Amino acid sequence: GWDIQTKAAFKGQAARLQLWDRQKMSKVVVVGDLNVGKTSLIKRFCKDVFERDYKATIGVDFEIERFQILGVPFSLQIWDTAGQEKFKCIASTYYRGAQVIVTVFDMADIQSLNHARQWLEEAMRENDPNSCFIFLVGTKTDLLVSPSDERERTEKDAVHIAAEMHAEFWTLSAKTGKT
Ligand SMILES: Nc1nc2c(ncn2[C@@H]2O[C@H](COP(=O)(O)OP(=O)(O)OP(=O)(O)O)[C@@H](O)[C@H]2O)c(=O)[nH]1
């Protein structure tokens, strides 16, 4: 009867909508050493704020960022993972299904850049390498004397590592909000 037909129509519509929705929800996973500024980067991106006090991420956290391109709504599910070794096991269970992997390092801490490849490798283990966009992001640029030999050296190393990682390289400061 009419009732069954409308129900079926609604269900079809709902399924189509859901499919449409899912295609526009992208999963972003942010990884990197502890204290490099992953949470700060996400907070700056989603809320345009900065907190000076450090609060370690416990396991994982996430933010949803919605935006429109030519009137079409999109959303990003941004997973903020903990850099602390003891939380790695929990955090890594959230790597799967990422369309974007953001590997973060501290521009003032060369060790965190040296660890970037390891972080990416671990995140990629759970994902299809052909369907991921990869970023290498150097943070805390406000702490660097610029221009300086040290900054130049770090940037040169980072460009090199980004190429190996097939990543797009960015530098920024979550504190000032400048790239
Ligand atoms: N000067 C400066 N400090 C920053 C910047 N980004 C983050 N910080 C500071 O660095 C510390 C660590 O930042 P978080 O964003 O919590 O680091 P995280 O990578 O999320 O750390 P975990 O959650 O432990 O993995 C905090 O005290 C921040 O205020 C930046 O761009 N400039």
If you take atom 13 of ligand 1, which residue's CA is the nearest one?
37
Query: How close are the terminal C-alpha atoms of the chain, in Å?
Result: 61
pLDDT at 86: 92
- Is 24-171 CATH 3.30.310.10? no
Domain assignments of the chain as residue spans, ordered by start: 24-171
* 55 Cα to the center of ligand 1, angstroms: 8
Look up the pTM and report it.
Answer: 0.87
* Strand residue runs (E) in 10-151: 25-32, 60-69, 72-81, 100-106, 133-139
Q: Whose CA is nearest to atom 26 of ligand 1?
A: 54
Determine if ligand 1 sits within 6 Å of the CB of residue 139.
yes
Q: What is the pLDDT of residues 14-42, one digit of tens each?
A: 666 555 555 578 899 999 999 999 999 99
Which ligand 1 atom sits nearest the alpha carbon of residue 52?
Answer: 29
Planar angle of CA 88, 92, 96, nearest 5 degrees: 170
Nearest atom in ligand 1 to 174's CA: 31
Q: Which ipTM was obtained for this model?
A: 0.98
Residue bearing the bigger pLDDT, 138 or 69: 138
